[in-house]
Amino acid sequence: MQIFRYIVARCLHAVPVLLGVTIVVFLSIHLVPGDPIRIMMHGRIADSEVAKIYHDLGMDRPILLQYVVFLKNALVGDLGMSLIQKAPVAVLVVEKLWPTLMLLAFSTALSILIAVPLSLLAAFRRNTWLDTAIRLGSIFGFAMPSYWIGLLLMLFFGLLLGWLPISGLGDTPLDQLRHLFMPSLTIAFFLAPILLQSLRSAMLDVLTSEHIEVARAKGLSEWRILIKHVLRNAMIPVITVLAVNISWLLSGAVVVEYVFGLPGLGSLLVRSVGYRDYPLIQGLAFVFGVLVVIVNLLADLSYMLIDRRVLRS
Amino acid sequence: MTQPLLAIEDLTVGFHTPHGSVLANKHLTLTVAAGETLGIVGESGSGKSVLCRAILRLLPSPPAEITAKSLAFAGRDLLKLKPAEMRKIRGQDIAMVFQNPMTSLNPVWPIGDQVSEGLRIHRGLGRAAARQVAIDILKRVGIPSAALRVDDYPYQWSGGMMQRAVIAMAMTGQPKLLLADEPTTALDVTIQDQILSLLMELQRETGMAIILVSHDMSVVSETCDRVAVMYAGSIVELGVAADILSAPLHPYTWSLLRSIPHLDAPTGRLATIGGQPPDLARLEPGCPFAPRCPVASAECRALPIALKTLPGDRATACHFPERVAQLDQRAAS
Amino acid sequence: MAAVAEERQTTRRNPLLRELGSWSSSLKCGAAITLLIVLAAVFAPWIAPYDPNAQDFEALLMPPGWPHLFGTDSLGRDIFSRVLYGARIDLVIGFFTTYVPMTYGVVLGAYAGYKGGWFDAVLMRIIDVAMAFPFLVLIIVILAILGPGIQNIYISVFILAWTMYARLARAEMLVERTKDYMTAVKVLGFPQRRIILRHGLPNVINSSIVFSASDFVLNILLVSGLSFLGLGVQPPLPEWGAMIAEGRDFIRDAWWMATMPGFAILATGVGLALIGDGLAQRLGERHHTTV
């Protein structure tokens, strides 16, 4: 019952934010200075045709009515038509969703694999040269432009060593993993340091808490204490940090997809800015916003699985 | 004489800090017989908790360094055991109950799971069997409807109930020796008595020995067979509880006894011990209690002190135990 | 002995030296690196051996060496000189995109935290929605509306970047508001603006100051990234990200074209991040915000 209440409360919390997202997305095309249709068509269009497009798009109706229609359509997954590509925005977006989601999952997994052992090392050997070296390393990782480190990885592993493909996304799942490795590593260069920093202090908190001593007094091995009593507790801050930084992660993904020519949402966004394909840009912004909201919701729900204390409030 | 369950001989625990070494336990010699209750009393910082952790070898080294002539439990020297062997003793032969039940349980796991964890590790019990044992033990320590509450999380329980769970956790291994480090300090006064009598009941049933650490002389006086009084890392007085209570042979013990409030005592201010416990990092030669002692003399400050055995199974680390009697007279007048 | 005594006396006399002595090593290193880069930017015309835009078709794609320290690009321009001049562009953009939004963000957040009520509620909803979009995506959307270019980057960052600061300042003000000194000035009947600006602000600004160091780094990364995507500073201006973009096509034959400006960004970022690290330690860990 408590669990049910918690889930409902979290979902309800997301609703106003989602509404706000739709408002921003809806308004964006109306904020274009001048005539968006003319800009989109680069002026190669007759006045009568412009009026017809406005009418077809429903953009000659009162703005509030337009929003209601927009919202209704968005609810059933209709995000309008791309005027440039002459295809439904929803179809174009869904096509590119998969590579982006894979990139997110792969880079998050890679960052966790890097950050967890290093943060444990830093916590166990705190205030030693090793701790300092790890902290310094994460500052370097944080300060590197991701498109730059992506280019360098490409140069080194792709062109000089020829180990990994430098662009595109393969066909078979295994091939796709090979293609995604360098882009994911590039993202891990800035995501892992962020994780590392909060994990280190979380690990320190857990390691010095009394229940760890109790576990030792029970005769558990250090290994079991680490797996069962330290890592599980430290997962809570990991999830928080990942959720808080999902916006940065997605921002990084946009750039990295562009660098590695991955056919994902990010490279589609960059390209459609060049074409001024406003309906497509709107659709992409909407999907990015929804992704952030969903990830935050998932984070809230996974707290519940890891730490039942959240049910108290 | 039969072999004692625990025989500590000349145990010293040092901590290495950047500002030099600190001796938290100094040359402790102590025995615990099977089935008996030994009380250890002293102010905070006197080294009581360090002693418990040293017995179980829970102190991280570095910074801690444990040395002893022997630290024998049932005839085996604990200091000579390999880490894996020591782990088999922890939670099985020797168990420990900690001061703060609120932080003794991991907040992210169900209570029953934590209570039975030792059984699964040490005895290889399956999940279902371990759960059943956990329910039985929780029932035994007085958790109502234990079968329903075994899957609760720590945040759902009160402090007193959690301490019962921690005791249950310690009892799963059927230990021969239970170290109870201030098990009631963090609890409400009404709960304190319940927890203490629970421990005594469990002792009667299982015949285990208990080392009960407390800063509270009244707790120890109610429950213990023998008492060791600690001050500044050393034992300053040791003997049968009743003897020590009726006729202390160390001024520090005398002061501790005087600071217990008595319902039948005449009104007036509660006695306190003047001054502060000494800084373990810079101890003077001579008796460490001398600066606070009402009957100290020049010799006390100069002569090094050791625990002297007296007739009647007693020992004191006072140069002049006979002066304690004067204190009674002085207080009476 | 005499030397020690002497040194002690000079430190006592000079508050600046005493202040410097109390800095942690990360703060010192970070300040030194940042100062170096700022000096390089200021004195670029005197240090740079070449005109950053002078093309030399006799020296195309020269590898690093002498006289072209960092090599030359596909138009024969000296990369070292371009990197030096690039510091002027990137540092200035980074500075304004960080500290302009910080000023009104902190004030808005402090005001919302102090007042509460509908203003606070509305502000928080706006912030929630702004933060529901990936920062870069929203910037790109605004640039798609207004058109690419540095002026529009300023506008879009000014529209969005205050949210983080408002959030930090509001959270601190909620704590600060309940403290005795705030009640005291309220009882004295001071006007609200004075209470918030003069008594509240200095106490709620710490976490924003710490965050601003990492934010500076993030903004340089953002702006250079937008230039890399072709949405920011346009060539031939020697902006670091734009230079990396130009070098991208030559990565196989002239690795230095893309690599050298990247080192400049890295050095600037490390310097600023170290300052942030040092400030976080100094002002207390609780102000340490991970982006």
Average pLDDT taken over every residue of chain C:
87
Check CB contact of A208 with chain B, cutoff 8 Å: no
Average pLDDT over residues A25-53: 80
Alpha-helix runs per DSSP H in C14-62: 15-21, 25-42, 44-47
CB-CB under 8 Å, A217 with B153: no
Whether B152 is in a domain gets the answer no
- B290 DSSP assignment: G
3-state secondary structure of B131: helix
Give chain A positions within 8 Å (CB) of C34: none
Q: Give the nearest chain C residue to A237 (CA atoms).
A: C290
Check CB contact of C141 with chain A, cutoff 8 Å: yes
Q: Is the pLDDT of residue A48 over 90?
A: no
Distance, CA of A10 to CA of A304 (rounded, Å): 11
Q: When comparing pLDDT for C264 and A235, which is higher?
A: C264
CB-CB under 8 Å, B91 with A218: yes
- Asked whether the bond before C67 is cis by omega within 30 degrees of 0, the reply is yes
pLDDT the model gives residue B266? 56
Whether B183 is in a domain gets the answer yes
Whether B137 is in a domain gets the answer no
Distance, CA of A32 to CA of A50 (rounded, Å): 16
Q: Is residue A278 within a helix (H) or strand (E), and if so which, with residue range?
A: helix A278-306
Q: Closest Cα of chain C to A265: distance in Å? A: 10
Average pLDDT over residues A262-279: 91
Q: Closest Cα of chain A to B229: distance in Å? A: 25
Check CB contact of A55 with chain B, cutoff 8 Å: no
- Please write down the long-range contacts of B72-76, taking CB distance under 8 Å and 24 or more positions apart: B72/B6, B72/B7, B72/B8, B72/B9, B73/B5, B73/B6, B73/B177, B74/B3, B74/B5, B74/B176, B75/B3
Whether B134 is in a domain gets the answer no
Distance, CA of C156 to CA of C97 (rounded, Å): 10
Q: Is the pLDDT of residue B30 over 70?
A: yes
pLDDT tens readout for residues B285-330: 788 888 888 888 888 888 888 888 888 888 998 888 888 888 878 7
Nearest to C150 by CA among C80, C223, C246: C223
Picking from A145, A159, A284, the nearest residue to C265 by CB comes out as: A145
Judged by average pLDDT, the poorest of B45-49, B143-147, B326-330 is B326-330
Check CB contact of A312 with chain B, cutoff 8 Å: yes
CB-CB under 8 Å, A312 with B103: no
Distance, CA of C85 to CA of C162 (rounded, Å): 29
Whether B132 is in a domain gets the answer no
Picking from A233, A306, A312, the nearest residue to B155 by CB comes out as: A312
Q: Residues C114, C177: contact at Cβ < 8 Å?
A: yes
Picking from B88, B108, B155, the nearest residue to A233 by CB comes out as: B108
Q: Give the nearest chain C residue to A24 (CA atoms).
A: C129
pLDDT tens readout for residues B61-110: 778 888 889 899 998 999 999 999 999 999 899 999 998 888 899 988 99
Write out residues 255-274 of A within 8 Å (CB-CB) of C. 255, 258-259, 269-270, 272-274
Terminal Cα-to-Cα distance of chain B (whole angstroms): 45
Q: Closest Cα of chain A to B120: distance in Å? A: 10
Average pLDDT taken over every residue of chain A:
88
Q: Is the pLDDT of residue C158 over 90?
A: yes
Distance, CA of B96 to CA of B91 (rounded, Å): 7
Write out residues 269-288 of C within 8 Å (CB-CB) of A. 269-270, 272-274, 277, 285
pLDDT the model gives residue C6? 47
Burial class of C243 by CB neighbour count within 10 A (0 to 12, 13 to 18, 19+): buried
Average pLDDT over residues B52-69: 87
CB-CB under 8 Å, A247 with C135: yes
Q: Is the pLDDT of residue C3 over 50?
A: no
Q: Is the pLDDT of residue C266 over 90?
A: yes
Picking from A213, A214, A307, the nearest residue to B107 by CB comes out as: A307
Q: Residues A149, A188: contact at Cβ < 8 Å?
A: no
CB-CB under 8 Å, C225 with A147: yes
- Asked whether the bond before C236 is cis by omega within 30 degrees of 0, the reply is yes
- What CATH number does residue B60 fall under? 3.40.50.300
Indicate the pTM of the whole model.
0.82
Side-chain half-sphere of B210: how many Cα atoms within 13 Å?
29
Domains parsed from chain A with CATH numbers = 89-275 (1.10.3720.10)
pLDDT tens readout for residues A178-195: 899 999 999 999 999 989
Whether B228 is in a domain gets the answer yes
Give chain A positions within 8 Å (CB) of B109: 228-229, 232
Of the spans A56-70, A131-145, B277-291, B318-332, which averages the highest pLDDT? A131-145
Annotate B27-49 with b (16+ C-beta within 10 A) or e (fewer).
Answer: bbbbbbbebbbbbbbbeebbbbb
Distance, CA of C104 to CA of B184 (rounded, Å): 54
Q: What are the residue ranges spanned by the domains of chain C?
A: 47-290
pLDDT the model gives residue C45? 92
Q: Residues C135, A247: contact at Cβ < 8 Å?
A: yes
Give CATH superfamily name and number for C47-290.
Answer: MetI-like (1.10.3720.10)
CB-CB under 8 Å, A148 with C265: yes
Q: When comparing pLDDT for B180 and C184, which is higher?
A: B180
Give chain A positions within 8 Å (CB) of B103: 209-211
Q: When comparing pLDDT for A47 and A149, which is higher?
A: A149
Residues 6+ apart with CB under 8 A from C254: C61, C63, C71, C73, C74, C247
As separate numbers, helices (DSSP H) first and strands (DSSP E) second, chain A gives 14, 2
Give chain A positions within 8 Å (CB) of B58: 213, 216-217
CB-CB under 8 Å, A214 with B87: no
Judged by average pLDDT, the poorest of A96-100, B272-276, C180-184 is B272-276
pLDDT band at A89 (very low <50, low <70, confident <90, very high): very high
Nearest to B230 by CA among B1, B20, B36, B11: B11
Distance, CA of B266 to CA of B260 (rounded, Å): 13
CB-CB under 8 Å, B118 with A218: yes
Q: Residues B97, B178: contact at Cβ < 8 Å?
A: yes
Write the Ramachandran bin of A278: left for phi over 0, alpha for psi from -120 to 50, otherwise beta: alpha
pLDDT the model gives residue B294? 83
Check CB contact of B129 with chain A, cutoff 8 Å: no
Q: When comparing pLDDT for B165 and A45, which is higher?
A: B165
CB-CB under 8 Å, B117 with A218: yes
Whether B202 is in a domain gets the answer yes
pLDDT tens readout for residues C34-60: 999 999 999 999 998 888 988 888 878
Which chains lie within 8 Å of chain A at 3 or more CB pairs, if any?
B, C
Distance, CA of C248 to CA of C250 (rounded, Å): 5
pLDDT tens readout for residues C58-111: 878 888 988 888 988 888 899 999 999 999 999 999 999 999 999 999 999 999
Q: Closest Cα of chain A to B13: distance in Å? A: 18
pLDDT tens readout for residues A235-261: 888 888 888 889 889 999 999 999 999
Residues 6+ apart with CB under 8 A from B80: none
pLDDT band at C287 (very low <50, low <70, confident <90, very high): very low
Picking from C145, C255, C290, the nearest residue to A31 by CB comes out as: C145
Check CB contact of A221 with chain B, cutoff 8 Å: yes
Picking from C134, C144, C217, the nearest residue to A247 by CB comes out as: C134
Alpha-helix runs per DSSP H in chain B: 48-55, 83-89, 101-104, 111-123, 127-140, 146-149, 159-171, 189-206, 217-223, 241-246, 251-258, 298-302, 323-332
Q: Is the pLDDT of residue C286 over 70?
A: no
Q: Residues C160, C130: contact at Cβ < 8 Å?
A: yes
Annotate B266-304 with b (16+ C-beta within 10 A) or e (fewer).
Answer: eeeeeeebeeebbebeeeeebbbbbebbebbeeebeeee
pLDDT the model gives residue C288? 42
| Tokens 């300042």 sit on residue | C169
Give chain A positions within 8 Å (CB) of C135: 247-248, 251
Q: Closest Cα of chain C to A211: distance in Å? A: 24
What are the tokens at A26? 């809806």
Picking from A221, A228, A309, the nearest residue to B107 by CB comes out as: A309
Average pLDDT over residues A204-232: 89
Whether B102 is in a domain gets the answer no
Q: Closest Cα of chain B to A225: distance in Å? A: 11
pLDDT band at B268 (very low <50, low <70, confident <90, very high): low
CB-CB under 8 Å, A218 with B90: yes
| Cβ contacts from A onto C, under 8 A | 151
Q: Closest Cα of chain B to A217: distance in Å? A: 5
Question: Which domain range does residue B28 map to?
Answer: 1-93+175-333
pLDDT band at C180 (very low <50, low <70, confident <90, very high): confident
Write out residues 82-101 of B within 8 Å (CB-CB) of A. 84, 87-92, 95-96, 98, 100
Distance, CA of A65 to CA of A262 (rounded, Å): 38
Distance, CA of B233 to CA of B26 (rounded, Å): 6
What are the tokens at C241? 């990200």
Picking from B90, B106, B153, the nearest residue to A217 by CB comes out as: B90
Q: Name beta bridge partners: A87.
A: A82
